[in-house]
Amino acid sequence: QIERTLVLVKPDGVARGLTGEVLRRIEAKGYRLVALELRQLDRETASRHYAEHEGKPFFEPLLEFITSGPIVAAVVEGQRVIEGFRSIAGATDPTVAAPGSIRGDLARDWGKKVIENIVHGSDSPESAEREIAIYFPSL
């Protein structure tokens, strides 16, 4: 059935000028953009998004990273788009992400405490609903 997912182009992606490339891949795959915004996250919003990682060693570095510069938030729609976007994004760890994927082609390990991997995509219908409400409460 038709799903929606929350996609972020993280600060590393925006800073490196890869926003267009990420959106191009999403649209070329055949998914549809239904909302799009460039914004600066504050700590509160970032902690809300990443609440499930609270207590993990990379939580603080993750908050620092995700608030370090503008991000692009998008809601993307399509048949099985949650799984489909995760597939075009590639594995979390860019060193092993498959070539052909966003992370496999465009990201690498910089030796930091947090993995900088250009994009985020919701991992389940429940996460998608929760995350879309954080970024686009009117949807």
Residues acting as catalytic residues: 120
Candidates 17-25, 31-39, 100-108, 115-123; binding stretch for ligand CMP (CB under 6 A): 115-123
Q: Which two tokens stand for residue 89?
A: 């994004």
Name the residue nearer to ligand CMP (CB basis): 1 or 65.
65
Candidates 14-22, 27-35, 109-117, 130-138; binding stretch for ligand CMP (CB under 6 A): 109-117
Q: Which two tokens stand for residue 7?
A: 């996609």
Regarding 117 and contact with ligand CMP (CB under 6 A), the answer is: yes
Q: What share of the chain is helix, strand, coil (3-state, %, to 5)?
A: 40, 20, 35
Distance (Å, rounded) from C-alpha 49 to C-alpha 71? 13
The tokens 């590393």 sit on which residue?
A: 12
Regarding 36 and contact with ligand CMP (CB under 6 A), the answer is: no
Shortest Å distance, C-beta 120 to ligand CMP: 3
Name the residue nearer to ligand CMP (CB basis): 31 or 89.
89
Say how many C-beta atoms besides its own lie within 10 A of residue 93's C-beta: 12
| β pairing state of 32-39 and 2-9 | unpaired
Residues binding ligand CMP (CB under 6 A): 53, 58, 62, 92, 114-115, 117, 120
